[in-house]
Structure 1
Amino acid sequence: MIKTYRQIFVLLQPREQRRFILIAFMSLFNGIFEAVGVVAILPFLTIVAQPEMIQTTPALVRVYDTLGFTSDRSFVVFAGVAVFGLILLSSAFKALNVYVVARFSGMYSYTLSSLMLKGYLFQPYTWFLSRNSANLSKTVLSEVGIVVNQHIMPAMLLMTTVASIMSVSLVLFVLEPYVAIGAIVVIGGSYLVIYLLVQARLTTIGKDRVIANKARFKTVQEATGGIKDVKITGLETAMLRRFRIPARRMAQIQAQSQMISQLPRNGLEAVAFGGLILLILSLVQRSQGGIEEVLPVLGLVALAGARLFPAVQALFQTVARLRTSAPAIEALLKDLQEIETTPNRTPIPTGPPPAPIGLRDQLVLDDIHFAYPASDKSALTGVSMEIAANSVVGLVGGTGAGKTTVVDAILGLLRLDAGALVIDGAPITDDNRLAWQRSIGYVPQQIYLTDESVAANIAFGLPRSEIDMDAVKRAAQVAALHDFIVEELPQGYDTIVGERGVRLSGGQRQRIGIARALYHDPDVLILDEATSALDNITEEAVMDAVHNLGGKKTIIMIAHRLTTVESCDCIYLMEHGQVAASGTYAELVEQNATFRRMARA
């Protein structure tokens, strides 16, 4: 149990740690209120059963005289109201404690999910290359909620439950020690034995739940993300069958967990009632007086039992939930430790976004070397390039030649093993990397479009209130997209494009990608095989829009078809992670046999 609270404390931020300690003190006071409520019932039942004690007990006489009572009946009524008030106050404080815990847990779910997403977003680009996006989504959207609701919140309520049990048990032990010892041995011992029998099963259930939940998320993402392939190949039933296996396992796990947590209750209720009957018979047998002598003790035990039995059952359920959710919090802590210790993390901005540094003279790749993590082969070896500002440069080469890696280096996504990316004589470092990236517009081969309006997709990532429609329209005009939007789309720039742009053609999606890259008016535009999936006519139209920017922006393009780079100012031919040749299209055709074969293909 100490390990549980240590794990929770590690997850909490300093402010949450202070609140956690405050809630711990609230739990202690809640236990005291519970005990006061139980203790108060004994004198009340005593004067109900034996009213003459009002006039023979010094403490009661002082209260009677001070408050000016004139009859024993009215005093009994007052005592009943006072006891009821104490019990009501105890219940109200308990409700307040539950509310505070629930609010803390709910807000911390928001804090922790934001913390995890922040940790992921500021990982280096290469970190994502070996991660499954479905698992990352699962952690942020599902596992955090499970950890908070099934681990942190129960652990906090556990403090309240334990404080209540200990306080009421202490009162019962002082007033009726044999009853208290019997209750602890029978009820507490029974719960302990049952827990020891099921704890291993609870741990297994928790591990199985993590695995099943991961499989559910992965299957749903693959089924919906590749819906076209699923439809074409008729895999709907296969995907559904694949999903049902972990989904059914999740349902079984939840049922087993619920069953185990309720396991002791029914049997021990019978034990508790049997014990109460035995207690009544024992008290009656030992009593020298009538029922009025036994009544106060019975009332005390009944009230204590009414408080203790649900609390002990809640204690068992909570401990069972903590055991089941332990694998989830361990996985989350492992993830958190990993994202906090990953080398070369992206620095977290502490102020407003830096202004773009732009490109005024020359972009230089100076003898750069790079190998991907866990790879024993270099992706780039001694690559050097000089790209003049406002020129159009092409990168060509076969699959695996290193073209995309060069572009990723220019984008500032890679931490180079050697060499430097130099902009206008200044090397790019962590201090100016973000400012350089704000100078770049990037158009990938596959444009990621959200199920939002055309305008929201062009101004990708910005809240609707911050979108500059003048900039949106200006970018669309440069991308030769404006006329299509205003003339053919029913709501113009407010038209919803559908998830991943399913309502648009390939050429229209690519033009939105170009417009998005141009929205912030960057100095450098990079196209990573942005037209390779288009037909010749559509590609020509898109490239016309790109070439119209020639002389105004620096354009770097990876091309699959050499006709795309035919009019470039300079072309770099990549082979095996190195620059094999460079020059104009005509020069390379004349001087390089590999390029010549590519041109004739």
Structure 2
Amino acid sequence: MAGPLARMAGARGGPDQHSMDFKRSGKRLLAQFGPERFTMYAMVVCAVCSVGLSVLGPWILGKATDLVFAGVVGREMPAGQTKAEVLEGLRERGDGGVADMLSGTDFTPGEGIDFGAVGGVLLVALGIFLVAGLLMAAATRLSNRAINRTMCRMREELQAKLSRLPLSYFDRRQRGEVLSRATNDIDNIGQTLQQSMGQLINSLLTIIGVLVMMFWVSPLLALVALVTVPVSFLVATRVGKRSQPHFVAQWRTTGKLNAHIEEMYTGHTLVKVFGRQEESARQFAEENERLYEAGFKAQFNSGIMQPLMFFVSNINYVLVAVVGGLRVASGALSIGDVQAFIQYSRQFSMPLTQVASMANLVQSGVASAERVFEVLDAEEQEADAVPGVRPEELRGRVALEGVSFRYEADKPLIEDLSLAVEPGHTVAIVGPTGAGKTTLVNLLMRFYEVTGGRITLDGVDIASMSRDELRDGIGMVLQDTWLFGGTIAENIAYGASAARKVTRGEVEEAARAAHADRFIRTLPDGYDTVIDDEGTGVSAGEKQLITIARAFLSDPVILVLDEATSSVDTRTEVLIQKAMAKLAHGRTSFVIAHRLSTIRDADAILVMENGSIVEQGAHGDLLAADGAYARLYKAQFAEAVAEVD
């Protein structure tokens, strides 16, 4: 059920199939925080102060340990002696090892634990940890503020970009896949940044702060602790390279799965009518299995990083404990210093492990960011001329002068087409499917740009007009109705320009002109009846009448009706034709129709085949000519058609 254009794009190796440039995309994502640089500076300052105070904590607690140990040792020593005399006595008794160990302890013989000093040190540590916590809370709040603002801007930028993309961009992609980038990928970026950015900055600052304290306490032990860093770096880079392609595949598959779900939900009636539930479920299962495989491989490969980092961390812990114990035994370090160093070793290993374990989050977020950047980098429609030219008076004269157009460079669709439509005239465009009827209207609306020639409105090239001004003078009703969630009155009023205040009377007048007023008043709440975007509660024909009323309310100079009466019954169709005749006065009307009964009264009928106008004239004249139009007419109305099977 996937769209054929989307399948063809995928088969050609579309724009979403290239590999990911992790470094470039990561830098570009960080550049999105440019407008929040002052908030980020404040966040970094708070984080630096918080980490700086936090890394002082173990050293201060180590001093408390030294005070306790010194009190325990001093209490066991005879009073009245000095420290030097006690150590000398130990060496004379053959306890030189004990004397060496105690030489690094500042004890006073005969005196026990100074609880006042210990309490003072602990209060200082408590105060430092409290201030560090408050600063970290402030840093977290600033980080969340910067991230949420950046995500808000990215959503706005993506929305603005989507409005500037040409229709051809959406023709080549599944709607659900594009929506996945605007929703799932943006949300994933926000969650990734929320979970990783603050912690990543904190971890990096902790690594730097702990390294400084480690070298201050013991340069030798610091060097021992750094032995495992290359191993940690090797583990992180190897695992990251293995898991990154799987994260790219995971989010690409998520987009495809969303596209399939969106198509199945939108066309669920057709799926059931044609008995395609099993096929749809099977395709869903296949896409779901691909997503499972990609997600499992991505999470597994990145998930093994944390256990490996813990293993390296434990090796580091053992080395520090052994070498630290030897240094205490030699009297080069106090027990408190070794205690502080072991804590620093843990503090040093933990952020390394955290940074490594965040690799899966970061890779997932950057993979989503690249998918969003692909949309932001897509080629936009040509910018409007500045300043835009506007006809002195909009009368509705449309002229096509040698117009050529092609969707693909090597496949011409319309070649050297010329046509002039006078104001107030109704022009019907007929022809077989693929003849270029809707394309002609799309060119008039500037959904596509001509590849040759030009189209003028009241003598002004529409390429020199702004699209908003051009489309403001055109009312369009498509075969596929579009309604949004809201009241019927709001849906009809949608046809007016945003700057214009529409009254209920104008809405009802437009509905009466479109012969929608009668059925609307039979609804429970009349014009205030709420419908959803599927138009639940009203029939297909009634939805079409609402969209026609919307076009009438816009009071356009040009009316474009693309199979606008295809969903209404014959009686309603006749009523609409009468209303059209009344409302077409002073307006130029383009009517694309397969049902030739709707265009008999048109001022001119254009018969298109293969992008060219092969016949034009009034209904009677074309029938008399017995050409392409006559063949279409006979195929539709002659009784002999039943025999041609």
Give the TM-score normalised by the residue count of structure 1.
0.85
1:587 and 2:628 matched: no
Quickly say closer, same or farther: Cα 1:237–1:357, change in 2 above 3 A.
farther
Quickly say closer, same or farther: Cα 1:368–1:551, change in 2 above 3 A.
same
Q: How far 1:447 sits from its partner (Å)?
A: 0.8
Which residues in structure 2 correspond to 1:248-327 (within 5 Å)? 248-251=289-292, 253=295, 255-256=299-300, 259-264=303-308, 267-268=311-312, 270-271=314-315, 274-275=318-319, 278=322, 281-287=325-331, 294-327=334-367
1:35 and 2:55 matched: yes
Counterpart among 258, 274, 281 of residue 233 in structure 1: 274
What's 2:244 paired with? Answer: 203
What's 1:377 paired with? Answer: 411
What's 2:429 paired with? Answer: 395
What's 2:196 paired with? Answer: 154
C-alpha contact 2:46 2:138 (8 A) present in aligned 1: no
Gaps of 5+ in 1: 57-70
CA distance in 1: counterparts of 2:508 and 2:596, whole angstroms: 31
Across the aligned residues of Structure 1 and Structure 2, the Cα RMSD in angstroms comes to 3.4
Q: How far 1:363 sits from its partner (Å)?
A: 2.1
SS class of match (1:338):
coil
Which residues in structure 2 correspond to 1:432-451 (within 5 Å)? 432-451=466-485
CA distance in 2: counterparts of 1:348 and 1:222, whole angstroms: 37
1:566 and 2:600 matched: yes
What's 2:155 paired with? Answer: 113
Quickly say closer, same or farther: Cα 1:111–1:313, change in 2 above 3 A.
same
Quickly say closer, same or farther: Cα 1:585–1:271, change in 2 above 3 A.
same
C-alpha contact 1:44 1:76 (8 A) present in aligned 2: yes
What's 1:525 paired with? Answer: 559
CA distance in 1: counterparts of 2:631 and 2:448, whole angstroms: 32
Q: How far 1:333 sits from its partner (Å)?
A: 3.0
Task: Tell me which amino acid in the other structure corresponds to 2:151.
Answer: S
Quickly say closer, same or farther: Cα 1:183–1:356, change in 2 above 3 A.
farther
Task: Tell me which amino acid in the other structure corresponds to 1:308.
Answer: F
CA distance in 2: counterparts of 1:468 and 1:216, whole angstroms: 44
What's 1:122 paired with? Answer: 164
What's 2:264 paired with? Answer: 223
- The superposition leaves residues 131-188 of structure 1 with CA deviations (integer Å, 9 ceiling, x where unpaired) of 32222111111112223433686356423311111111211122122322222223x3
Quickly say closer, same or farther: Cα 1:171–1:279, change in 2 above 3 A.
same
Q: How far 1:592 sits from its partner (Å)?
A: 5.1
Quickly say closer, same or farther: Cα 1:257–1:248, change in 2 above 3 A.
farther
Which residues in structure 2 correspond to 1:453-464 (within 5 Å)? 453-460=487-494
1:247 and 2:324 matched: no
Quickly say closer, same or farther: Cα 1:4–1:507, change in 2 above 3 A.
closer
Percent pairwise identity: 21
Gaps of 5+ in 2: 1-21, 75-81, 83-112, 636-645
CA distance in 1: counterparts of 2:602 and 2:185, whole angstroms: 50
1:475 and 2:510 matched: yes
Aligned length: 571
SS class of match (1:441):
strand
Task: Tell me which amino acid in the other structure corresponds to 2:512.
Answer: Q
CA distance in 1: counterparts of 2:568 and 2:409, whole angstroms: 33
Q: How far 1:572 sits from its partner (Å)?
A: 1.8
CA distance in 2: counterparts of 1:305 and 1:21, whole angstroms: 29
- The superposition leaves residues 245-290 of structure 1 with CA deviations (integer Å, 9 ceiling, x where unpaired) of 44355455265266335333654565466456536643553349xx
526-535 or 161-170, which deviates more: 526-535
C-alpha contact 1:370 1:381 (8 A) present in aligned 2: yes
CA distance in 2: counterparts of 1:91 and 1:19, whole angstroms: 19
1:179 and 2:221 matched: yes
Q: How far 1:445 sits from its partner (Å)?
A: 0.8
What's 1:86 paired with? Answer: 128
Quickly say closer, same or farther: Cα 1:388–1:227, change in 2 above 3 A.
same
What's 1:62 paired with? Answer: none
- The superposition leaves residues 278-321 of structure 1 with CA deviations (integer Å, 9 ceiling, x where unpaired) of 36643553349xxxx84421441244245334322211112343
What's 1:64 paired with? Answer: none
SS class of match (1:121):
helix
Quickly say closer, same or farther: Cα 1:405–1:431, change in 2 above 3 A.
same
Quickly say closer, same or farther: Cα 1:361–1:243, change in 2 above 3 A.
closer
Q: How far 1:80 sits from its partner (Å)?
A: 2.0
Quickly say closer, same or farther: Cα 1:153–1:390, change in 2 above 3 A.
farther
Counterpart among 138, 153, 158 of residue 96 in structure 1: 138
CA distance in 2: counterparts of 1:420 and 1:436, whole angstroms: 15
Give the TM-score normalised by the residue count of structure 2.
0.79
Which residues in structure 2 correspond to 1:422-441 (within 5 Å)? 422-441=456-475
Quickly say closer, same or farther: Cα 1:24–1:430, change in 2 above 3 A.
farther
Quickly say closer, same or farther: Cα 1:184–1:275, change in 2 above 3 A.
same
CA distance in 2: counterparts of 1:98 and 1:596, whole angstroms: 75
- The superposition leaves residues 489-548 of structure 1 with CA deviations (integer Å, 9 ceiling, x where unpaired) of 112123233442243222111111101222322222110112234443343333333233
C-alpha contact 1:37 1:90 (8 A) present in aligned 2: no
CA distance in 2: counterparts of 1:257 and 1:146, whole angstroms: 19
Task: Tell me which amino acid in the other structure corresponds to 2:609.
Answer: E
Q: How far 1:560 sits from its partner (Å)?
A: 0.5
170-179 or 33-42, which deviates more: 33-42
C-alpha contact 1:359 1:389 (8 A) present in aligned 2: no
Q: How far 1:467 sits from its partner (Å)?
A: 6.5
- The superposition leaves residues 442-498 of structure 1 with CA deviations (integer Å, 9 ceiling, x where unpaired) of 0011112234332232234999x9765343323212111112111x21121232334
CA distance in 1: counterparts of 2:398 and 2:63, whole angstroms: 89
Counterpart among 548, 551, 555 of residue 589 in structure 2: 555
Q: Which has the larger radius of gyration?
A: 2
490-499 or 535-544, which deviates more: 535-544
What's 1:6 paired with? Answer: 27
Task: Tell me which amino acid in the other structure corresponds to 1:574.
Answer: M
1:545 and 2:579 matched: yes
